[in-house]
Each structure stands twice: as C-alpha cells, then as structure tokens.
Amino acid sequence: MRLEAPELVRVDLSEVDYDTAVQRMTGWADQRRAGLAPDRLFLLSHPPVITYGARTPPADLPDDLSAIPTVAVDRGGNATYHGPGQLVGYLVMDLRRWGPVDVVRWLETGLIDAMAALGFPTLRRDTPPGSPSLVGVWTPDGRKLASIGMRIRGGVTTHGFALNVDTDLTVFDRFVACSLDDVAMTSLDELATERGIRTPSDAEVRDAVATHLGAAVSQTP
C-alpha cells in the first residue's frame, strides 16, 4: 500500500559544516518533540566529509583518514560521503502523529517520484537476507544515486538522505560506500551526460524533492 506523504515545512539552507548541522539537528528534534516546531525538511549541502554508522566495518573506511574528515554518527547505515554538488535532506518528523509508518520506504518513494519528475527513472531495491542494506535510490542498471540513513529517537526522525547531483564521484573510490564494495555510485550529472540532456540545477532538484516529499515551503528555520 502506498503511503501518503505527511505535510512538511521546507527549510532551505546553503552549505553547513557537518558538525554544526548535527548540533542544530539535535535542537530541531528537541523542538519537534516539545511541539514547538512542525515537521520539517531541511535541504542543504556539506563541505567534504565521510560519515559512518556504528556498525561500519573498519575496512570500509579510507586508508588515508587525513585526506577527508571522517566522522562517526548516530544514524543507521554505513559509510557515505557528503560534499559539494550533493543535496542533503534532513527529515525532522514526529512519527507519533502518524502512527506506524515505514518512513524509510516513504522517503525512497518520494525521492523516486522526484527523480521521475526531473526525467530520471529510478527505483528502490529489497535487501536479500544476510546482505548489506540496499536502502536508497537506484538506477535501473544498478548504480546508486541516493543514500539514506536515519535515526528515530523519542518518536522523532533525524538525518535523512544524500542525493548526488553533480558530485565528484571519484571520492567514492577511496572507501566502501554503504558496505557495498561491488556497487558504483552515480549522479544526476553523469546520468544526464550519458543521455545528452541538461543536468538539473540545484534549485530544480530542491523543488522536485520538496514537492514530492509533500513539503510546504518556508524560507526560514
């Protein structure tokens, strides 16, 4: 059964240092639990950083940890990269308002709809038992376009997704993204180049994502 997206307030930010964003996200979640703020979708980018969850195998991390900052995080999922040319979305939503809901599936579906609106067919994949998680957004030929890692605490979600728009994909050669050592990462820019079409702008991607995640627009946190 397809889930209807809850109403969200869209908050557009520019580039935010990762540590700063995590500190702010803690406050955003506290506000939501206290009923002082609505459900919000924060759209932003980060300077280069590799983040990883608690279950990430050490062998997945870069050999040279000094090349790009590497930060342990309290979300689900394994190692992933954030950097210029990537749209990051942090979802701060009170699931207690909506009852039982597969928020990860809802997020995958919304992003897939957004990519379709931009002219890029994508899909979600089920994870076989015992295999690394295949949560995210994928191309039909098996490349990963967007990664998802979330945390639910006190009924409120934090963290969210990272969508490659015109990201430097060579960074993913330095570590094992999402514990999937046989998977290639891709970007909208790479897909557009292959098809001979224009890469959508950051504003177009933000609008599509916000629209298809059911976001109500607001320009200030």
- Nearest partner of 84 among 168, 176, 172, judged by Cα: 168
CB contact burial 95-122 (16+ within 10 A = b; e otherwise): beeeeeeebbebbbbbbbbbbeebebeb
- Nearest partner of 111 among 219, 197, 5, judged by Cα: 5
Q: What is the largest CA-CA distance in the chain?
A: 49
Which is catalytic among the residues 25, 148, 178, 188?
178
Q: Catalytic site residue 178?
A: yes
Residue 26: in which H helix or E strand, if any?
helix 18-33
Q: Annotate 107-127 with DSSP letters as a single string.
A: HHHHHHHHHHHTT---B--PP
Active site residues: 178
